[in-house]
Structure 1
């Protein structure tokens, strides 16, 4: 399968919002980083957040995951207001995020990495005294998740020995172990070669069938191929929103963002 064969999935306009924000704003002293952002991340769809450097993408991402507290506005997970919740509380509602830097336990095997992530879903998260061997009952599910991301045949390899692209795939597997309702990906394709980009794009498209996905991404070709909904930010405000055809037809977007794949 090539990137050209990956396409956005059709979905009814009524597809429910798993994560949404209204009037989202954030200031740092006298600097207004984000102003009045409205966004809906819908179940079964990939929502891409794009814009140039300094547009406010990372700030919006961190606001939605509650790593930053908003100065104004509301954030909802389904019908639950999470505006003042701590990140750990939000995670328990099924919101999971990745980071720009892959976070895995390098000296542990792939399957043990996933088993560790599975602990919370299996009531073992606070039982820190247990050995990894005691988590063996989690291995079948861990193997299923590794299979989903194409790593089952490397289950007993050290995570540190993986290529960068495969480390990001392992990170997706550990995130899926949390059984997320909303998955937020911060530049998941950054630093990858073309082959890894294509593999990861297919993986993200597959994952989005079961949850809502928001990704901050600057690879416009990937956004065009797998993005269902796109929000374009400029100076902390929404420039436009819509599907790729609508967004790319906007003269402001074409001039500022669509002309180069390197725009962040």
Structure 2
């Protein structure tokens, strides 16, 4: 599979971002980890957050997903202020995230993993006393989601038996079960071989057609191929933002990051 580079185009003028932050800052004691970050993530677009090691990418990601509370600034989900909400609340509003470490139920089948994820949007999440077989009515939708990520023919297999790349694809399927408005992916390609990288990058590009997607990523080739909007961080602040062509032409970016593809 060869990735096609996305056209260099900006979000429609005047369009409201699905997820946005203004003046986002976070300090830990006397250490300023993030300072005055503005970011807009639009529906149907992939926004890549990149930068060298220690740039503040993970902190911004955790602020946007509410695993950290900001010291200052505002975070909006559409027209809703989510700045002080907790992760569970924003998840119910349509924000979903992945983690760097694979998070699947290894002893369960792929289809049952997705069925479990489908419980909340189908009003079954609190009915923990029900046997696993009671999720059977969710299986048609689970199979649709597995098909979307290329795993339908493996639906009966144990998740623990999957390759690393396919486990990450299963995680995408379980995340899509929440029908997210905004999807945030934390280094989704880390640790993958080249074939899995290309497959996953294509999957991310497909998923982004139906939601707003932000990813923290250090694979610059993939960022160049599928990223619409790029934010480059350095020392907790925005170095520059724009299309890949725009940010890669910035001499400050070349000096700080672009020449070190494997540096995160």
Q: Which residue of 2 is the match for residue 199 of structure 1? A: 199
Structure 1 position 219 matched with structure 2 position 219: yes
Q: Which residue of 2 is the match for residue 18 of structure 1? A: 18
| CA distance in structure 1 between the partners assigned to 2:183 and 2:25 by the alignment | 22
Q: SS in structure 2 opposite 1:179?
A: coil
Segments of 5+ residues of structure 2 without an aligned counterpart are none
Q: How many residues align?
A: 263
1:131-146 matched pairs, under 5 angstroms: 131-146=131-146
Distance of aligned partners of 1:95 and 1:124 in 2 relative to their CA distance in 1, 3 Å threshold = same
Structure 1 position 175 matched with structure 2 position 175: yes
Contact 2:8–2:243 (8 Å) recurs in 1? no
TM superposition shift of 1:14: 3.8
Q: Which residue of 1 is the match for residue 240 of structure 2? A: 240
| CA distance in structure 2 between the partners assigned to 1:45 and 1:85 by the alignment | 25
- C-alpha distance after superposition, 1:136-192 (max 9, x if no partner): 000000000000000000000000000000000000000000000000000000000
Segments of 5+ residues of structure 1 without an aligned counterpart are none
Q: SS in structure 1 opposite 2:258?
A: coil
- C-alpha distance after superposition, 1:54-101 (max 9, x if no partner): 100000000000000000000000000001111111111100000000
1:85-164 matched pairs, under 5 angstroms: 85-164=85-164
Contact 1:8–1:227 (8 Å) recurs in 2? no
Moved over 4 A (4+): 8-11
Structure 1 position 7 matched with structure 2 position 6: yes
TM superposition shift of 1:255: 1.6
Contact 1:21–1:39 (8 Å) recurs in 2? yes
| CA distance in structure 2 between the partners assigned to 1:40 and 1:16 by the alignment | 9
Give the superposed CA RMSD. Answer: 1.0
What is the TM-score with the length of structure 1 in the denominator?
A: 0.98
What is the TM-score with the length of structure 2 in the denominator?
A: 0.98
Q: SS in structure 2 opposite 1:75?
A: strand
Distance of aligned partners of 1:200 and 1:181 in 2 relative to their CA distance in 1, 3 Å threshold = same
Structure 1 position 44 matched with structure 2 position 44: yes
Contact 2:56–2:236 (8 Å) recurs in 1? yes
